A and B are shown apart, each in its own frame.
Chain A
Amino acid sequence: MPENKFKPGDRVRVLKAYPPGHIRTPYYIRGCVGEIERVCGAFPNPEELALMRTGLPAQPLYRVRFSQKDVWPDYGGSAADVVEVEIFQHWLDPA
């Protein structure tokens, strides 16, 4: 199983890439910088499961917290508002 590269509190940048396929990383969050909120565990890679393969080794999954103001340029709410997205490790780089 791949090692966990990140721990809670680490700043990460979501890979800004648009390959075809069954991608569980939402379009709107790609390229954004956030902070690891927690490690959710490790799960078979859905990109591979979707193609009838095992998705193994299981990939670490993180809940990543983003400031709403960083995600939406015209966000009108409080500066304290956040959005949390669960993202697999292979979509994250250190920021």
Chain B
Amino acid sequence: MIERSHHDMGGRPAGRVEPTEHDYGDWECRIDAMAVLLWGIKGTKKLLTVDEHRRAIESLPPQAYDSLSYYEKWIFALAQCLMARGVITSAELARRMAGVAGPRSHHDMGGLPAGEVKPAEHDYETWERRVDALSVILGRKIRMTVDERRRAIESLPPDAYDRMSYYERWTAALAHTLLERGLVTTGELARKMAEIEGKMRAGK
């Protein structure tokens, strides 16, 4: 599982902090203004909460998180939030962004070296079968779509994506989707994960 979110870096070395003020560019002021309007605090329709926005910033791939400036992170996250709310679609955004260079999603690795592919079959373990069965059931019961799961898998941080096995990715994606759908809460999941961890430790 993913132990520490990349942004959650309290206590880690982070280089020197430059305490100097700087002037903001017009584009930075515009992004800030857009966020204020979306928050709905000026009588406009509320289309964003600070926490939605933060969550989107924290979901940026680590490399992007480290290389983007403050307001660059804001604008990427605003786009994510507005798509999640259905205010804009990725198709509309794709049209407007045509010609603008952009990053490759980590999973989207067509043409890149990926090592040897081992075509041998293997037996699935009980937990893997359970995860598969759970996915089928959720597909029927709550109409969880393949694309929701794919999106969640593709949103894993690159190092987790590379390290996890196939069904580990599925498990992380299921948890993500259930949280997003409001069927479990982060608090419930945290309790349950701590409980299981405790049992595993006691069993050793």
17 more contacts with CB within 8 A, not counting A19-B79, A28-B108, are A17-B99, A18-B97, A18-B100, A20-B80, A21-B80, A22-B90, A22-B151, A26-B108, A27-B104, A47-B89, A47-B90, A47-B91, A51-B86, A51-B151, A52-B181, A71-B111, A72-B111
The answer to whether A15 touches B110 (Cβ under 8 A) is no
The answer to the question of B8 belonging to the interface, with a C-beta cut-off of 8 Å to chain A, is no
- Bound Cα distance A72, B90 (Å): 26
Interface of B is mostly: helix
The answer to whether A27 touches B108 (Cβ under 8 A) is yes
The answer to whether A49 touches B99 (Cβ under 8 A) is no
The range of chain A's interface size is: 20 to 34
- Bound Cα distance A6, B103 (Å): 29
The answer to the question of B55 belonging to the interface, with a C-beta cut-off of 8 Å to chain A, is no
The answer to the question of B83 belonging to the interface, with a C-beta cut-off of 8 Å to chain A, is yes
**Which A20-61 residues have C-beta < 8 A from chain B?**
20-23, 26-29, 45-53, 55
Closest 8 CB pairs of A and B: A18-B102, A50-B151, A22-B151, A21-B90, A49-B147, A19-B93, A50-B147, A17-B94
Listed in ascending order, the chain A residues whose CB lies under 8 Å from chain B are: 15-23, 26-29, 45-53, 55, 71-72, 90-91
- Bound Cα distance A51, B79 (Å): 13
Q: Quick one: given A28-B111, A47-B89, A48-B89, are A20 and B76 in contact (CB under 8 Å)?
A: yes
Question: In the complex, which residues of chain B have a beta carbon less than 8 angstroms from the beta carbon of A26?
Answer: 108, 110
